[in-house]
Chain A
């Protein structure tokens, strides 16, 4: 309990400070000026998303191998966290792109892959919602999760190959090259802060799911105990 409160406070403080740093400490960018500051949250949310979705992949494989429900809990927690981060990324991107490059969106390899990724993991969550039996839900969504993860590199490669044949305006995302030292420091801080938020949210969701399972186990234990005495009395052997 104390650990959870402490980590939540730390992460909240981090994100607060990161926001302040992004808005006031980071120097003004030459060409894009104020709008560029979205980048300090845009890029970290991609990093957080990829981390969350890698966690989902590992959890899916682990569940199929071990059948332990904790892996299923981790899978759904990771998928929800990943979808949220992806949504943030997809929403902040156009907000940045429009004033700077004049277009909301372009179908370059990176953006297209991300959009497909977003669709795939929303489908993952939808699939879970439409399956009632918990065991089937865990198994079938794990299989779909594995397929989705295997598909992502294929989507990226196919889009890259396609775009070299049909060039489109490329949005220079991920300005990692040639960053001013202060900008780099602020970026690092924001990455840590956003990752922190993602991890805290993921772990909380994981705990919630585990608690649900535990509650079910206990409920069944109680039910069995209530029924047992009658059966012992009634049992005869001729």
Chain B
């Protein structure tokens, strides 16, 4: 599948995230306990940990889908200097691939992408949608209902949807799940392109996949707390190697 490179967004500044003693509770279940983490603008962070460690919750908080029960989350522009201008700005520049597909099953692939392109206020929508479908290999199924798609196809469309508005902060929650060989290759190429463009990426996974090689930093969560962190300037490979040894 061809990777149609998005027009370089290097001109639009990326931003980082600062988690400050973030705690998130659901009733008596504590998903995150006192997480303090500074993710710099342009960093590619692999978020690791077993199921239930809190990765999804952390990503949801970064996506502004949930707020911390305690503690603060800030978006830091540039190299950690000052806050991002506003929540609305941050939303326009954030893309997320979640646990669910975030797609309407009863709309076609093209209709789904068009809807979100409209909501994000993009221009040249029909061209963008066509290019996006082409690049994720669903060009021939543009007019088919998502309901008829296989798991792998839905995941590809979900990723395409998240990339449509050319985000500067890209959050992925187990993106490799359900992808076939081709899909994985496409994902890897897409992430590589994003990394080169200076996009901040936070990707969670609990199993080994090739995209992890792109990560410049590895953070391991356990029981809602940071267990290991290879740090902003550090080397993630020992942490990643340990993961491979475990699984």
Q: Contacts A224-B34, A227-B33 known; A235 to B226 CB distance under 8 Å?
A: yes
How far apart sit A172 and B239, CA to CA, in the bound complex (Å)?
80
Question: In the complex, which residues 199-238 of chain A have their Cβ closer than 8 Å to any Cβ of chain B?
Answer: 216, 219-220, 223-224, 227-228, 231, 234-238
Known: A235-B226, A238-B239. A220 touches B231 (CB 8 A): no
Q: Which residue of B lies closest to A231 (CB)?
A: B225
* Complex CA–CA separation, A134 to B25 (angstroms): 10
In the complex the two chains form, what is the Cα distance from A7 to B221 in whole Å? Answer: 51
Residue B82 lies at the interface, judged by CB distance under 8 Å to chain A: no
Tell me whether A238 and B27 are in contact (CB under 8 A): no
Is the CB of B238 closer than 8 A to any CB of chain A?
yes
Interface string of A125-136 (1 = CB under 8 A from B): 000000011110
Residues B235 and A220 in contact, CB atoms below 8 Å apart:
no
Cβ A227 vs Cβ B225 within 8 A? yes
Q: Decide if the interface of chain A is mainly helix, strand, loop or mixed.
A: helix
Q: Is there an interface contact between A132 and B229, defined as CB atoms closer than 8 Å?
A: no
Which chain B residues lie closer than 8 Å to A133 at the CB level? 26-27
User: How many Å from the CB of B179 to the closest CB on chain A?
Assistant: 30
CA distance A220 to B229 in the complex (A): 24
B227 touches A216 (CB 8 A): no
Is there an interface contact between A216 and B28, defined as CB atoms closer than 8 Å?
A: yes
Let me know if B223 is at the binding interface, CB within 8 A: yes
- Bin the interface of chain A by size: 10 to 19
A134 CA to B229 CA, complexed, in Å? 32
- Are A231's CB and B222's CB within 8 A? yes
Nearest B residue to A219 via CB reads B28
Min CB gap A225→B, angstroms? 10
In the complex the two chains form, is B30's CB within 8 Å of A238's CB? no
Q: Which residue on A lies nearest to B27, using beta carbons?
A: A134
A235 to B37: give the CA distance in the assembly, Å.
Answer: 13
CA distance A231 to B239 in the complex (A): 15
Q: How far is the CA of A132 from the CA of B225 in the complex (A)?
A: 25
A234 proximity list for chain B (CB < 8 A): 222, 227-228
Instruction: Determine if B234 is an interface residue (Cβ-Cβ < 8 Å).
Output: yes
Q: Which residues of A contact B235 (CB under 8 A)?
A: 238
Question: Closest CB-CB distance, A202 to chain B, in whole Å?
Answer: 24
Separation of A218 and B33 alpha carbons in the complex (Å): 14
Q: How far is the CA of A236 from the CA of B222 in the complex (A)?
A: 13
Q: A227-B33, A238-B238 are in contact. Are A132 and B228 (CB under 8 A)?
A: no
A residues less than 8 Å from B223 (CB atoms) = 227, 231
Q: Verify A237–B229 contact, CB threshold 8 A.
A: yes
Q: Is B134 an interface residue (CB 8 A)?
A: no
Closest to B69 in A: A135
Alpha-carbon distance A236/B162, docked complex (angstroms): 33
Chain A residues whose CB sits within 8 angstroms of the CB of B38 once the complex forms: none
Closest CB in chain A relative to B43 CB, distance in Å: 15
- Within residues 214 to 230 of chain B, which ones have a CB less than 8 A from any CB in chain A? 222-223, 225-230
Interface centre among A216, A235, A238 (most CB of B within 10 A): A238
User: B30–A224 contact, CB under 8 A?
Assistant: yes
In this complex, the member of A132, A133, A237 whose beta carbon has the largest number of chain B beta carbons within 10 angstroms is A237
A206 to B102, CA, bound (A): 41
| 30 chain-A/chain-B pairs, Cβ below 8 angstroms | A132-B27, A133-B26, A133-B27, A134-B27, A135-B26, A216-B28, A220-B30, A223-B30, A224-B30, A227-B33, A227-B225, A231-B222, A231-B223, A231-B225, A231-B226, A234-B222, A234-B227, A235-B228, A236-B228, A236-B229, A236-B239, A237-B229, A237-B230, A237-B231, A237-B234, A238-B231, A238-B234, A238-B236, A238-B238, A238-B239
New A-B pairs, 8, CB < 8 Å, besides A133-B26, A224-B33, A231-B223? A132-B27, A216-B28, A223-B30, A231-B226, A234-B222, A235-B226, A235-B228, A237-B230
